[in-house]
Amino acid sequence: MDEEEVLGTARIPGNVGTIILLKRGDEFILRVHDTELMTSAAHLSEDSLSHLVCGRLKHLEAPTLLIGGLGMGFTLAAALASTGPQAKVVVAELIGAVVEWNRGPLGHLAGFPLKDPRVSLRAGDVAMVLQTELEEYDGILLDVDNGPEGLTRDSNDWLYSNEGLAAAYSALRPGGILAVWSSHRERSFAMRLAKIGFAAEEVRVPGDPTNPDERHSIWVAKKP
């Protein structure tokens, strides 16, 4: 097995933990708390997050999307590839180093999507965006932390609480789509979405191209 090379580290705001960027052979890894949060070798479910939203918004010529969590840029790249030249994509990323890594050593993986003129970057917590904007977005894509059960920051749990989901509901235009990525299933989450007023479904998607048994969950919720 190839040795791991540490390319960068950064403190996670509001937490005692650290996010680490590593390279192992041709593979890039984001690791938090000794857990691989993301790897460049497996991003099928991140791509699916965009495809599931953009496919439901294809009737719109100029959709406005909000992506919570930049990661390695795969979700953003898939959203750009799935929308037209008039689309607008806002990316909210809390950790400044993740943005710099996407402009540097990670950028080639997804084709440097931050350079696309349709993209605008918000440096900060996506929760703040949701709380300050009303009926601004046609699609909201949340790929924050490990899903509804937070891993890197306890405050991420707010996003998936009734209050956080209500904020997302308010930030969506009528007919808008909220999609939430998760590494695991949580059956109560669909009921939480329904309580807010969403029509929701859980979609199981492939996670790792080398392991057909690995599946991730994406909740797709429509605002009436």
pLDDT in tens, 11-54: 988 766 899 999 999 999 999 878 888 999 989 999 999 999 99
Number of domains in the chain: 1
pLDDT per residue as tens digits for the range 156-200:
678 888 999 999 999 999 999 999 998 777 778 889 999 999 999
* 36 exposure class (CB count in 10 Å sphere: 0-12, 13-18, 19+): exposed
**Assigned domain for 35 exists:** no
Assign 61 a pLDDT band (cuts: 50, 70, 90). very high
Q: What is the mean pLDDT of residues 61-88?
A: 97
Asked if residue 32 belongs to a domain, the reply is no
What's the chain's average pLDDT? 90
> Is the predicted pLDDT of residue 118 greater than 60, yes or no?
yes
**Domain-embedded: residue 33:** no
Q: Has residue 7 been placed in a domain?
A: no
Residue 169 covered by a domain: yes
Does residue 172 form part of some domain? yes
**What is the per-residue pLDDT for 153?**
43
The answer as to whether 88 is a domain residue is yes
Cα separations (Å) of 214 from 34, 43, 111, 204, 209?
A: 20, 12, 26, 10, 9
Starting at the edge strand that comes first in sequence, how are the strands of the sheet with 211-222 ordered? 119-123, 88-93, 64-68, 137-142, 172-182, 211-222, 199-208
Domain of 117? Answer: 42-222
CATH code, 76: 3.40.50.150
Residue type, 168: A
CB atoms within 10 A of CB 211: 10
pTM for the model:
0.92
The percent of residues above 70 in pLDDT, for the chain, comes to 94
In the chain, pLDDT over 90 holds for what percent of residues? 71
Who has greater pLDDT, 83 or 207? 83
Residue 36: inside a domain, yes or no?
no
